[in-house]
Amino acid sequence: MKKLFTAGLLLALIHIVYIPSAHAQLTSLPSGGNKRASVSEGIGITNVTINYSRPTVKKRDGHIWGELVPIGYVDQGFGPSKAAPWRAGANENTTIEFTTDVKIEGQPLAAGKYGFFIAYDPNECTLIFSKNNASWGSFFYKPDEDVLRVKVKPVKSDNNVEWLKYEFTDQTPSSAVVALEWEKMVIPFKVDVDVTGTQLASFRRELRSEKGFNWEAWDQAAQYCVQNKTNLDEALMWADTATSVNFGGDKSFTAWSTKAMVLDGLGRSDESAAVMKKAYPYASSNELYFYARSLTRQKKGKEAFEVFKMNYDKHPNEFLPIAGMARGYSAIGDYKKALTFAQKAHDLAPDKPNRDITANFIKTLQEGKDIN
For residue 19, what pLDDT is reported?
Answer: 41
Angle between helix axes 352-366 and 319-331 (nearest 10 degrees) is 20
CA 323 – CA 104 distance, rounded (Å): 52
pLDDT of residue 80: 86
How does pLDDT run across 73-111, given as a tens digit for each residue?
A: 998 888 888 888 999 999 889 999 999 999 999 999 999
Regions of the chain with pLDDT less than 70 = 1-33
According to the model, what pLDDT value does residue 137 have? Answer: 84
What tens digit of pLDDT does each residue of 1-35 get? 444 333 343 333 333 334 444 455 666 666 666 88
Three-class DSSP category at 89: coil
Reference 153, options 178, 118, 188; nearest CA is: 188
Domains of the chain: 30-192 (no CATH), 196-366 (1.25.40.10)
Say if CB 319 and CB 349 are below 8 A apart: yes
CB-based contact 148:107 (threshold 8 Å): yes
Question: What is the rounded average pLDDT for all residues in the chain?
Answer: 91
Tally Cβ neighbours within 10 Å of residue 124: 11
pLDDT at position 30, please?
Answer: 67
Total-model pTM: 0.79
